[in-house]
Amino acid sequence: MKKFYQFCSFASMLLCGIVLLFALLFFPYNTNAQTDIHFSQFYETALLRNPALTGVFDNNYKVGAFYRSQWESVTYPYETMQINGEYRLSLGRNANDFISIGALGYMDKAGDLNTKITAGYLALNYNKSINTNNNSYLSVGFVGGHVQYSFDPSKATYNNQFVGGVFDPVAPSNDNLPFAKMSMTDAGAGVNYNFSSGPSQESTYIIGISCYHFTQPLFSYYRTYNFKQNIRWNLNGAAIREVNENVVVQLHANFAQQGSYSEIIGGGLVGWRQFKAFDDPEYEIYAGLLYRYNDAFIPIVKLRYRHAAFGISYDVNTSTLKQGSNMRGGLEVCAFLSGNYPPGRGYKKTVCPRFN
């Protein structure tokens, strides 16, 4: 059985490397397509950043929800909602490796035309312990799903419908309208490495790379143009330090490149926690600040009581829209539940940081 696990880990790592290399060499970038959704509390969105981050947390399950509202002060608000779940399973009673599975669904809507993106994804991640101390893991993950883009053409207005300076909704537009929906199958892959150090394993470090849309599905409402979805490359990194029993410092960073668009975001949180038992904190309070380059400062507050967590952040806009928005960007909230199932089932502690 041990040799089988070793073969699976080697095969999956080799396959991921081939997939990423194939995507880089044979699928050139196309700058005509729309960029992906994103959240300011990006460190909580494993499946959107890197499928190899799926299941990288202390407990063996985690479920959560996100809500984000942006640009309400400027125009029709952009709203994004997401639900997700992750579960990790040890490969046998004495095995140090584990498999993680994850799922998410989201809807993003914006604008007067009620433009929507709805998507569902499934992820699979293999986590391989690469030393005898079990404080170092290499993970290989894959994600796939279905995405649909749509809009409401009945809400569109055209120059031809203004007669004598007055809008006539029944006047013909004389435009050849495209299809109101388009769908695509999507896929991605990633690798991630995390390890801990120190006498009590109090420091944790994480670094990874992923590739989304490497199949480059067609991206056009007209279905006659050969536009393709942009490949998105993503780099993730984090460092977590337990200063003492009660104080934790977290540093997070993420870089995304999709066509002509790139995003750099990073910052940190400081947390204070209180224990009632020897294993899990009874409650935790975090406060921090992130910065999205050339876009926004993002203050964050996060509360955690036992296995329930709640986070809230706000984008303070610093981009060229700051005059029109009065520096009001967007509100974002998230909530999570995590734990072990069945209740009380013990899992060996890994180097996974407490993101939940």
Q: Which amino acid is at 300?
A: I
The CA distance from 40 to 131, in Å, is: 34
Q: Identify which has the larger pLDDT, 226 or 314.
A: 314
Contact by Cβ (8 Å): 107, 116 = yes
In 293-327, where do the E strands start and end? 296-305, 308-317
Predicted confidence (pLDDT) per residue in 136-172, tens digit: 899 999 999 999 999 888 777 777 777 777 777 767 7
CA–CA dist 46, 44 (Å, integer): 6
- In one-letter notation, the amino acid at residue 161 is Q
User: Lowest-confidence range among 29-38, 167-176, 263-272, 300-309?
Assistant: 29-38
Residue 167: C-alpha distances to residues 113, 153, 161, 162 (Å):
17, 17, 6, 4
pLDDT, average across residues 93-101: 81
Half-sphere exposure of 175 (CA within 13 A, CB side): 14
Q: CA 109 from chain center: how many Å? A: 17
pLDDT at 10 over 90: no
Is 100:125 a contact under the CB 8 Å cutoff?
yes
Please give the model's pTM, rounded to 2 decimal places: 0.80
CATH superfamily of 2-339: monomeric porin ompg (2.40.160.40)
Position 42 pLDDT exceeds 60: yes
Per-residue pLDDT of 79-90, as tens digits, reads: 999 999 999 888
